[in-house]
Amino acid sequence: YTRLCHEMMETISPKVQDDGIKNAKGKPITGGQLFCRYLLHQCQEDFEHGWSEPYSDEYYVAQKAKCQGFSLIKFTGELFKLLMLTEHIMHECVKKLL
């Protein structure tokens, strides 16, 4: 999945933009950077949700949440290896795990 995400980031047209998402200079983020921003936002939401308390006491629910959390960690690490995530973001993820 990470290679697919990297390929999408590289090939999305710079004409694709979201006027509601701006960079530090106030210009809309476009193309692959926009995709990366959306992806990072989704990973962050899943990461924060995945390590919260289980919704019920049932064993299978806890196991499923645990597996999803570990998969997300692996996915995040692969994104970092492809230089799609910054070192700062990885440090924040590790801090949350500790």
Count Cβ atoms within 10 A of the Cβ of residue 84 and give its class: 0-12 exposed, 13-18 middle, 19 or more buried.
Answer: buried
Separation between Cα atoms, residue 14 and residue 5, nearest integer Å: 16
Asked if 33 contacts 22 with a C-beta cutoff of 8 angstroms, the reply is: no
Asked if 34 contacts 21 with a C-beta cutoff of 8 angstroms, the reply is: yes
Tell me the average pLDDT across 49-76: 74
Tens-place pLDDT, residues 11-32: 999 999 998 989 889 999 999 9
- Taking phi over 0 as left and psi of -120 to 50 as alpha, with beta for the rest, 64 belongs to alpha
Residue 11 is predicted with a pLDDT of 92
Place of tokens 């390590």: 51
pLDDT band at 54 (very low <50, low <70, confident <90, very high): low
Pick the residue with more confidence: 3 or 55? 3
pLDDT band at 52 (very low <50, low <70, confident <90, very high): low
In the predicted model, is pLDDT for residue 56 greater than 60? no
Does the pTM of the predicted model rise above 0.85? no
Count Cβ atoms within 10 A of the Cβ of residue 79 and give its class: 0-12 exposed, 13-18 middle, 19 or more buried.
Answer: buried
Tens-place pLDDT, residues 65-93: 778 888 888 888 888 898 888 899 888 88
Domain regions of the chain by residue span: 2-15+27-97
